[in-house]
Amino acid sequence: MTSEVVWMKRLLVLLMALSLLFSACAFAELENGEDDSNPVPIEADDGDDSDPQPVDMMEDEELEVQEEILQGRVLQFGDEGDDVLALQTRLKDLKYYTGNLSGRYREGTRKAVETFQADFELDQTGIADLRTLSILFSLTHRPLRYGSSGEDVKELQKQLTELGYYKGKISGNYLEATRKAVENLQKKNNLEVNGVADADLQDMIADGRILSKSDKPDDTNTPAPNLSNYLVDDNENGVAVADVAFEKKLKSGSSGKLVKTMQERLTELGYYEGPISGNFQKYTTRAVKAVQTQNGLESTGVVDEETWNVIFNDARIVMPGATPKPTPEPTPVPFHIVVDVANQVTSVYGRDENGEYTVPVRQMLCSTGMKATPSDVGDWVLNGRHSTWCIFPKWGNSYARYWTRINGSIAFHSPIYTAVSNSAMKISSYKKLGQRASHGCIRLAVWDAKWIYDNVGAGTVVSIVEGMDPDPELRDALKLPPLDTKYCTPISTPVPTAEPEYSLDNVPQLGNRQLKENSQGEDVYWLQKTLKDLGYYDTKVTGKMLKKTVKAVKAFQQDHGLRANGGVNQELMDLIAETARNAKNPQETPAPIATPEP
């Protein structure tokens, strides 16, 4: 009996040990594999337009704005949530992270952050601090070096082949031949020779700012200068002027040799007394703002091409303590944008000769907020923030292109994408343009969103308006082309039809034809244009007779004592022409003849 008890105890101990071992293994697997239980969906039904985060660098924003976007949260091991999911997605896009998109910050995420920090010479803490996040979300490319592999390496090899530097196989593997090709390109273009294709170099190649192997430097295609060896001259005021070409915009959060060179120059000019660190922080920002204020520029603290040229290439730069240059008169804002919620049309108006915004420049079908999540009605002034891609992490990381901020909640942007890829558009989002579909933002076709991104700047007023009259003619004229679902581009670009020649005296002859709703042709075009001149018709002249044209005809008939049925025969067409002629050339009323006094 005693021996049975002993064996039972031993069996119980063994079972407990096995149970503990199994739990430990499961925990280890969870740590290494990034727990993917209850995963956040990558794509919501239609994406979400609220709380977007720009994927690439905001062109006109400083680091403080990036911190605001990321809600000031430092991400580290043990954290969970949508911001961790956004971090993992971005790291995965840049090939640093290969684990599950779980929204949980575990060992795989920490190692990916460490690798990223090493690539950008940051402290390798594995903690996604604001500096790390700012750089991560500003990138268009990851750095490529010996040992890298992937589709981006293939793309680089293709570009190097086109430029004549690479003759090997397009393998997607960054090995010795690719490294040598990059080194030769760097030598040819007077860049630092290290065999690494960093984000800046990839941008220069993509933008066509690189000499091919067969090119010779000339005045129209000058390689980027070696900034460590620039020459200076003395102008008549004794100020050293550096002949240094502008390369790219610098702002708070930027770092590297360009920043260091600028700090040295600002020190020479007496604007900067801080360390020559190569890091663009608050003291550098203050110095840049001081230069801008003294020299009549807008005090933004951002070094754009105009500011760079003042710092390096302007012989008449105003020094600290001298009388500042006057700030030039501001240029009037060129556009006013009206978002018509009733018709789902966004219209851009330019200024007329009186300075009023009455000239239609561009009109576009759009999708405003759904009735449950309406767009913010009112007048909003753009602050100039925009991004080529944005991410909506709140709803599973849907994306959009050409994001232009309207206010703190909504923006103009393209249809929804499922990844940062031009071919990843959610086609249903495109097909819904022309009807309410968003969570408040104003969605536009990609080419229309890009037009606003390229042409509309800070200070532009956007009026979001409800309750406008239905305008079927305008909506019909703005119909969008079908898409090639593989490439997410229009199947064919329609050639615009030339407008018919119009003459008031060339009255269309209808014969037995009667114009009514859905009639179309040059006679309808003439009718719409003439009624517009008479003030009865106030929308786009399309040549297609829809409800607004019928309404204009009825108003004309009513004013002339006719039965208001909205139909047009030859007799009515002639009356409209006669009325328009009389309005154009009113007959002078003869002066009254004086009656002789009795």
**Annotated domain spans of the chain:** 57-136, 151-197, 227-313, 335-490, 522-584
**pLDDT(396) > 80:** no
pLDDT at residue 558 greater than cutoff 50: yes
The architecture of the domain spanning 57-136 is: Orthogonal Bundle (1.10)
Give the rounded percent of residues in the chain with a pLDDT score beyond 90: 36
Q: Domain 227-313: which topology?
A: Muramoyl-pentapeptide Carboxypeptidase; domain 1 (1.10.101)
pLDDT at 114 (0 to 100)? 92
Q: How many CA atoms lie within 13 A of 278 on its CB side?
A: 7
Q: How confident is the model at residue 597 (pLDDT cuts 50, 70, 90)?
A: low
State the pLDDT confidence band at 364, using cuts at 50, 70 and 90.
very high
Which is higher by pLDDT, 206 or 185? Answer: 185
- Least confident range from 61-65, 350-354, 361-365: namely 61-65
Residue ranges of alpha helices (H) inside 223-256 are none
The least confident of 64-73, 281-290, 468-477 is 64-73
As given in the structure block, the two tokens for residue 480 are 């969008």
* Residue 272: pLDDT over 90: yes
128 in helix, strand or coil?
strand
Per-residue pLDDT band for 433 (boundaries 50, 70, 90) equals very high
Region of 369 (left: φ > 0; alpha: ψ -120 to 50; beta: rest) is beta
Q: How far is CA 440 from CA 73, 81, 542, in A?
A: 25, 23, 30
**Matching CATH number, 335-490, of 3.40.190.10, 3.40.50.1100, 1.20.1080.10, 2.40.440.10:** 2.40.440.10
Query: Taking 70 as the threshold, does the pLDDT of residue 59 lie above it?
Result: no
Mean pLDDT of 21-46: 34
Q: Look at residue 338 and give its three-state secondary structure.
A: strand
pLDDT value of position 2: 55
Per-residue pLDDT at 14: 60
User: Could you read off the pLDDT of 203-232 as tens digits, one per residue?
Assistant: 888 877 788 888 776 433 433 333 333 333
Cα–Cα dist 247/79, whole Å: 39
Nearest CA among 375, 546, 380 for reference residue 470 = 546
pLDDT of residue 56: 40
- Report pLDDT digits (tens) over 123-141: 899 998 877 887 787 677 7
The CATH T-level fold of domain 151-197 is Muramoyl-pentapeptide Carboxypeptidase; domain 1 (1.10.101)
Average model confidence (pLDDT) across the chain:
80
**CB 317, CB 295: distance < 8 Å:** yes
Lowest mean pLDDT among 118-122, 282-286, 574-578: 118-122
Structure tokens at 186: 């760097």
Select the highest-mean-pLDDT range: 37-41, 279-283, 447-451.
Answer: 447-451
Count of H-run helices and E-run strands, the chain: 17, 15
Higher pLDDT, 550 or 41: 550
Domains 227-313 and 335-490 in one fold:
no
Mean pLDDT of the region 77-105: 88
**pLDDT tens for each residue of 148-169:** 888 889 999 999 998 999 988 8
Q: 């105003």: which residue's tokens?
A: 318
Token match 């915004």: residue? 357
Q: Which residue type is seen at 370?
A: M
Per mean pLDDT, which range of 8-17, 382-391, 448-457 is the poorest? 8-17
Q: Smallest Cα–Cα separation from 366: which of 409, 427, 430, 418?
A: 430
Beta bridge pairs of residue 309 = none
Q: Which residue has the higher pLDDT, 98 or 14?
A: 98
CA distances from residue 34 to 27, 92, 112, 287, 419 in whole angstroms, order as listed: 11, 13, 12, 45, 21
Please state which architecture CATH assigns to domain 522-584: Orthogonal Bundle (1.10)
Q: Quote the CA–CA distance of 574 and 508 in Å, as a whole number.
A: 9
Angle at 495 between CA 490 and CA 500, to 5 degrees: 145
**pTM across the whole model:** 0.47
